[in-house]
Amino acid sequence: METQRQKKIGGLLQQDLADILQRAATQGAPGTLISISKVSVTSDLSIAKVYVSVFPTAKAQGVMEEIKESNPAIRHELAQRTRHQLRRMPELHFYLDDSLEYIDGIERSLKKGENPIENPDLLPRRKKS
């Protein structure tokens, strides 16, 4: 269960990270939309798990590799923006959020007449993080 403090810090990080990543995407890869689905912070505020959604999904792996390579620069920029709210910047761990793609697969299966609820083998298994 997340405390109120963890939720507030997660929301703050989510807003600033979305701004940083979207600005970088418009300069580096035009036509790519990057959004932050969720930020969850551990109870000791040392690690932040950042779930990133990329559209179009074909560019997702390349964008994620680029984000992970520039993690120190992103963390520094984020620390500069939140220096009056946080004493220490949490370590950022980025994960690709594929929930929109998964939901789209379910909708396509339902429209074809196949029911993934009755036959779960129609959709690929999602790995839990």
Q: What is the pLDDT of residues 5-36, one digit of tens each?
A: 999 999 999 999 999 998 888 887 778 888 89
In CATH, the architecture of 4-122 is: 2-Layer Sandwich (3.30)
CA distance 22 to 26: 6
pLDDT for the residue 119:
73
Whether pTM exceeds 0.95: no
Q: For residue 38, what are the β-bridge partners?
A: 51
Q: Are 85 and 129 in contact (CB under 8 A)?
A: no
Average pLDDT over residues 64-68: 91
Query: Are 96 and 64 contacting, i.e. CB atoms less than 8 angstroms apart?
Result: yes
Mean pLDDT of the chain: 86
Residue 56 token pair:
């179009």
